[in-house]
Amino acid sequence: MARGVKIHHAWADGDDVCMVYDFEIETPAGAGSVLMAEWAVIRDGKVASSRLIFDTAAFMALMPTA
């Protein structure tokens, strides 16, 4: 299903890390990409929290229907 990512931009500000990327997927319904943004907080070298933001309609359009 997951084919990879194309990173548009990534940056850090202290413990906050953010990345904007295309998540490339391939399913029986077709192939495409969905724009995503991920914001993580790093504490003591580990991910303390992470938020993923994307358009669910764009993601569902690439999913097979029952």
CA distances 10 to 14, 20, 27, 31, 56, Å, are: 13, 6, 27, 24, 22
Say how far apart CA 20 and CA 65 lie, in whole Å.
28
37 occurs within a structural domain:
yes
User: Binning pLDDT at 50, 70 and 90, where does residue 64 land?
Assistant: confident
Whichever domain contains 28, its CATH number is 3.10.450.50
Judged by phi (left if over 0) then psi (alpha if -120 to 50, else beta), residue 44 lies in: left
User: Considering the domain boundaries, does residue 55 fall inside one?
Assistant: yes
Q: Average per-residue pLDDT in the chain?
A: 91
Tell me the whole-structure pTM to 2 decimals: 0.79
Look at the chain and report how many structural domains it folds into.
1
In-domain check, residue 13: yes
pLDDT digits (tens, 9 = 90+) for 11-33: 999 999 999 999 998 887 778 89
Please report whether residue 65 resides in a domain.
Answer: no
Residue 59 is predicted with a pLDDT of 83
62/21: higher pLDDT: 21
Tokens of 6: 């194309």
Residue 66 lies inside a defined structural domain of this protein: no
Domain annotation covers residue 30: yes
**Domain range for residue 56?**
2-60
